[in-house]
Chain A
Amino acid sequence: MIHAPLSTTSVLDESTDIVSMVSAPWAAVVIATSIPYRFMQAVFIDRLLEVGGEASHYGTLLGTTANLAIASFVFALWGRAVFARACRLAAARGAPPGGEAWRVSPVAFGSYLFTGTLAELIFYATLFSGIGTILAAIVGGLAIGTMELNERASIFGAMRLIARYGRELRIITALVLVFGCAFVIGLVNVTATFGFAMWLADVFLGADLSRWSVLFGEHNRRFVLATFAGAWIAIEPFWIAANVVLVRKAGAAETGEDLRVWFEEVRQP
């Protein structure tokens, strides 16, 4: 149901409701399919840091890792598509969806494969500029939000849909900034969780944690990279749900459907 006019806060409020509605089991699907990709990215960065300035001499090693990362990216896209469908069905019915959330149409997934990969390419191509990263996040978010609106296999059709909903640029940019902050908070939480578990083991079990504290410390590059990957995986379901809600509300706001629902709610004693 559409509860309030389109705004950043209303999108965030409704996406939180939807995530809590679809979290079991659909959030697990998106998390499970994202883990290989995010950790392959971490492995790629780890290898890159290991070879350092000699990276140009290790083309085969880095190329193989990048190929594996991109292959796992396709798997992650499928998980995101399933979760986005679950969010859309939950938003329409006001109840958690059943097995039909698995049935992502080939047209929707084909279009998302194209637009999602395009967003990823923009991200890697503009890695050095902050604006490019924001642009990649906007395109990637709208790609998942508009995925199910594609009715036929067409490159231009998918791009047109992104352009149409891209008119809500102010709200989309605000969402990107909010999720940038959420990423930092997620990072702190994931790190704190490891610290808290170490503290519990030390206090209640009296375990010798000298080796573990080195492993889970900020000096361990792999732990830091895994923490970054974990933080992004944790907020990904909310990011997808926010984009699905944004596109749904943007479509409904044009008709006054949100007002109609609101009037109905006001009329009820």
Chain B
Amino acid sequence: MRAATQRCSNHPARPAFAVCMACAKPLCQQCATQWDGIWHCAKCLAAKRGSSQIGSHFGGWLALIFSSLLLLYVSARMMVWAGALLSGMF
């Protein structure tokens, strides 16, 4: 397996033990931290802890909520449109 030959991104002498599931960096046992069943590097873990405050990424939240509401609205309209089109075919 290609992964078996990977090295820790912080300690090149050590073989990789896990991969940070956020930034995909290979990590040794010392550098890998599991939180809620997910492996993280120290940098991504710090970023995750920081991002737990909703106000820290206001723009991202605004875009996410607006896009989700828009998609929900379009999904409801698409459901009616697809249904009407389908019922017209039979």
The judgment on whether A and B are partners is yes
Give A contacts to B, CB under 8 Å. Answer: 5, 44-45, 48-49, 51-53, 55-56, 59, 62-63, 66-67, 69-70, 73-74, 85, 88-89, 91-93, 105-107, 110-111, 113-114, 117-118, 120-121, 124-125, 127-128, 148-149, 151-155, 157-158, 164, 248, 251-257, 259-260
Take A251-B21, A255-B16 as given contacts and tell me if A105 and B52 are in contact as well, using a CB distance cutoff of 8 Å: yes
A and B contact pairs by CB, cutoff 8 A, 21 listed:
A49-B87, A53-B90, A66-B79, A66-B83, A106-B54, A110-B64, A110-B65, A114-B71, A121-B71, A121-B75, A124-B75, A149-B22, A152-B56, A152-B60, A154-B63, A155-B67, A251-B21, A252-B19, A254-B2, A259-B3, A259-B4
Question: Is B78's beta carbon under 8 Å from chain A?
Answer: yes
Take A93-B37, A110-B64, A121-B74 as given contacts and tell me if A62 and B83 are in contact as well, using a CB distance cutoff of 8 Å: yes
Q: Please, which residue of chain A has its CB at the minimum distance from the CB of B88? A: A53
User: For the complex, what is the distance from the CA of A44 to the CA of B75, rounded to whole Å?
Assistant: 14
* B42: A residues at CB distance < 8 A: none
Task: Say how far A128's CB is from chain B's closest CB, in angstroms.
Answer: 8
Question: Is B34's beta carbon under 8 Å from chain A?
Answer: yes
- 19 extra interface residue pairs, beta carbon distance < 8 Å, beyond A67-B76, A93-B37, A120-B75: A51-B87, A55-B87, A63-B76, A70-B76, A110-B64, A113-B64, A114-B71, A118-B71, A148-B36, A151-B48, A153-B60, A154-B64, A251-B39, A252-B19, A253-B1, A253-B3, A255-B16, A256-B15, A259-B3
User: For the complex, what is the distance from the CA of A93 to the CA of B24, rounded to whole Å?
Assistant: 22
Task: Say how far B34's CB is from chain A's closest CB, in angstroms.
Answer: 7
User: For the complex, what is the distance from the CA of A153 to the CA of B57, rounded to whole Å?
Assistant: 7
Q: Indicate the member of A73, A88, A107 with the most B CB atoms within 10 Å.
A: A107
Check if A153 sits within 8 Å of B64, measured CB to CB: yes
Q: Please, which residue of chain B has its CB at the minimum distance from the CB of A67? A: B76
* A253: B residues at CB distance < 8 A: 1, 3
Question: Is B47's beta carbon under 8 Å from chain A?
Answer: yes
Check if B82 sits within 8 Å of A125, measured CB to CB: yes
User: For the complex, what is the distance from the CA of A158 to the CA of B2, rounded to whole Å?
Assistant: 26
Take A69-B76, A149-B38, A256-B4 as given contacts and tell me if A110 and B17 are in contact as well, using a CB distance cutoff of 8 Å: no
User: For the complex, what is the distance from the CA of A92 to the CA of B32, rounded to whole Å?
Assistant: 14
User: For the complex, what is the distance from the CA of A152 to the CA of B37, rounded to whole Å?
Assistant: 18
Task: Say how far B40's CB is from chain A's closest CB, in angstroms.
Answer: 9
